[in-house]
A and B are shown apart, each in its own frame.
With several copies, the nearest count.
Chain A
Amino acid sequence: MAGVETKLVYFSWVRERVGKSEEKIVLPQDVTTVMDLLLWLKQRDDGFAAALEFPEIIRVALDQEHVEHTAEIGAPREIAIFPPMTGG
């Protein structure tokens, strides 16, 4: 699916550290799992490095569904990246 843009959305302190609430990017072909994605994003710039310093605590949703870090990304329309939730 090279060349297809995916929408990424960021929330809470992930959003603040990466400096944007959303963007559209083309994912590299070797990014196949959620953890691949987090590690790839982390080396993009200092903001991502700060936001994803501890990737194991970061939550990811593919098309608004929570997924494990081992999950295959597939071809979602939207990927959300955020810290543990603190609602309620």
Chain B
Amino acid sequence: MSAFGVTVRVQSEDFDQAAETTLLTKGRTDIGAVATFSGLCRGEGETLKALELEHYPGMAESEIEAAANAAVKRWPIDGLLVIHRYGRITPGEQIVLVIATSKHRDAAFDGARYVMDFLKTNAPFWKKEHRVDGQEASWVDAREEDEQATKRWK
């Protein structure tokens, strides 16, 4: 279930930020602000070969939708798009995209950041790191900073 203006996609394919922005803004003259966040896979000094992103289908979508719907309720946001990928992702590739549009910049910035913060701590995705040196792949630990980031919105 998602509110009007909220789009959430969980997919293995890459996405096109420019095309998504166009979909949210084209032909509209009531939008003054577009805040966009994209998260990329880092190579960790060329030690990382790939990330493997596991997710809980169904719950991944519903948790992101819950965050997006909460953002739309809290700020005057016109459109909110969230795309999160799963599967194998190599350094430099895109993982996540959030675009929030609004009349004013504060709502757009707050909305995009709120969704990113909640997504980090609440959406069921887990990253496994595969190393260039062939060492055993290991799961990324959750960061205490991310927990704190979510708390700042209370």
The finding on whether chains A and B are genuine partners in a shared complex, rather than unrelated, reads yes
A contact residues vs B (CB 8 Å cutoff): 9, 11-13, 61, 64, 66, 80, 82-88
If A86-B126, A88-B125 touch, whether A80 touches B139 (CB-CB below 8 Å) is no
* Cβ contacts A to B, 24 pairs, < 8 Å: A9-B56, A12-B128, A13-B126, A66-B63, A66-B122, A80-B59, A80-B124, A82-B126, A83-B139, A83-B142, A84-B142, A85-B120, A86-B120, A86-B126, A86-B140, A86-B143, A87-B53, A87-B96, A87-B123, A87-B125, A88-B84, A88-B96, A88-B116, A88-B120
Does B141 make an interface contact (CB < 8 A)?
yes
State the CA gap A85–B39 with chains docked (Å).
16
In this complex, how many residues of chain B approach chain A with their Cβ under 8 Å: the count is: 31
| A64 to B, closest residue via Cβ | B59
Instruction: List which B80-126 residues lie within 8 A (CB) of chain A.
Output: 84, 95-96, 105, 116, 119-126
Query: What is the 8 Å Cβ interface bit string for chain B, positions 54-73, against chain A (1 contact, 0 not)?
Result: 11101110110000000000
Q: Contacting B139 at CB < 8 Å: which of A13, A61, A64, A88? A: A13
> In the assembled complex, how far is the CB of residue A64 from the closest CB belonging to chain B, in whole angstroms?
4
CA distance A85 to B125 in the complex (A): 6
Whether B130 is near chain A, meaning CB under 8 Å from some CB there, is no
Which chain A residues lie closer than 8 Å to B56 at the CB level? 9, 11, 61, 64, 80, 82
CA distance A9 to B55 in the complex (A): 12
